[in-house]
Amino acid sequence: MPSNKSVSDAPIVQFTNCRILRDHQLQREDLWVREGKILNPEKLFFDEKGSADIQLDCKDSIITPGFIDVQINGGFGVDFSLATDDFKSGIDLVSQKILSHGVTSFCPTLVTSPPSVYHQVLPQISVRNGGAHGAGILGAHLEGPFISKEKKGAHPEHCLRTFEAGAFQDLLATYGSLDCVRIVTLAPEMRRSSEVIRELTKRGICVSLGHSVANLSQAEEAVQHGATFITHLFNAMLPFHHRDPGIVGLLTSDKIPAGRRVFYGMISDGIHTNPAALRIAHRAHPKGLVLVTDAIAGMGLAPGRHTLGQQVVEIDGLNTYIAGTKTLSGSVATMDTCVRHFQEATGCSVETALEAASLHPAQLLGIEHEKGTLNYDSDADFLMLNDNLYVQATYIAGEEVWRQDASGL
């Protein structure tokens, strides 16, 4: 029976025989899609007297919202912190390749760089929808250069900057433009950081705290001024101390403004964070946990020497170090690997693990009405997974953009 064409000529696709992640539960029901959006079947039946044009048997797959990676430095030989003539083709390559990891949208991330790099690279990053060409781009994540020298991690010290002279004007001069910027990571203990946080927040840019020696009260003050995120919790910050837990203390702080939630990124690759630390964070503040890959250019490539912005890094198995040191420098983990490791390490439910890579990053960016859920009228960006949480197929706007050849589907 054809659908009611008075409402829309677009075909209606019904995904059957699946378990859908909706309202924090895997539910055995069908998924209906039209014109790139999730459709409410009751409205279709009763208001439009319509039905599906196409039915697809999902063979008992899990259907989950597409993953959103808000911290990814590159991959497959592409480094987002390097100003190259073919930067656009590099970002296109990464956005294409990460479809197989279940990532349907992401924030290309630049580590601390000279102003010239920001001035060259940022104009080449544009917010765009995903599709067969690759995952959608939500805007850039600028990690540095306004960070602590003591906790610089893999960031080059000679490029670090402060807000001493002009505060927000310094930041604007350094980056050149904030047009495509979605997240800025900075150290909140820096002088005049409060006014910078306020200005960024006013412009709808998410402020994240990281690479910092801030104590808890400095971190709380930053949140009161508008900061909502913590960059890779536990990494590049003061270790937890019972008398002053530092930024980590935000997870259980009673000084968070009413109605505000602090989110925190976790690199769940089995390298950056001990499983016990992952469990502590998750149990302390489960609704704030956002899985990030922090992937570098070497993701998807053989071990050896690669770059991270201005630095040379060496990949040894899953470990990535600044060449000649034991300083960790990003990761080579994929998002689907991080989801599986998180679920295994914490013993959390499948639903919880999947939401940490979809719903929570969407909530962090304030886009949960479009992405990160399978609610009616939201974007039809979703994945088919098997019971072991391996990606079998990736869909963006209701269209299949990647499929595992040997999945048997």
Name residue, tokens 């960024």.
200
- Residue 128 counted as an annotated binding residue: no
Alpha-carbon distance of 160 to 331, in angstroms, equals: 22
Alpha-carbon distance of 306 to 300, in angstroms, equals: 12
SS3 405: helix
Nearest to 69 by CA among 386, 392, 331: 331
With a CB cutoff of 8 Å and minimum separation 6, the contacts of 53 are 2, 3, 11, 12, 13
- Residue 143 counted as an annotated binding residue: yes
Nearest to 368 by CA among 355, 359, 357, 356: 359
SS3 339: helix
- Residue 158 counted as an annotated binding residue: no
Q: Which residues pair with 140 in a beta bridge?
A: 181
Residue 294 a catalytic site member:
yes
With a CB cutoff of 8 Å and minimum separation 6, the contacts of 147 are 112, 155, 160, 185, 186, 187, 210, 211, 212, 236
**Amino acid identity for residue 86 in this structure:** D
- Residue 42 counted as an annotated binding residue: no
SS3 283: helix
Q: DSSP code of 211?
A: S
Distance of CA 326 to the CA centre of its chain: 26
The beta strands (E) that lie in 101-180 are given as 103-111, 136-137, 140-143
- Residue 232 counted as an annotated binding residue: yes
- Residue 330 counted as an annotated binding residue: yes
- Residue 243 counted as an annotated binding residue: yes
Q: Which of 294, 336, 379, 381 is catalytic?
A: 294
- Residue 279 counted as an annotated binding residue: no
Binding residues: 143, 154, 211, 232, 235-236, 243, 272, 328-330
Q: Which residues are catalytic?
A: 294
Binding residues for Zn(2+): 143, 211, 232
Binding residues for substrate: 154, 235-236, 243, 272, 328-330
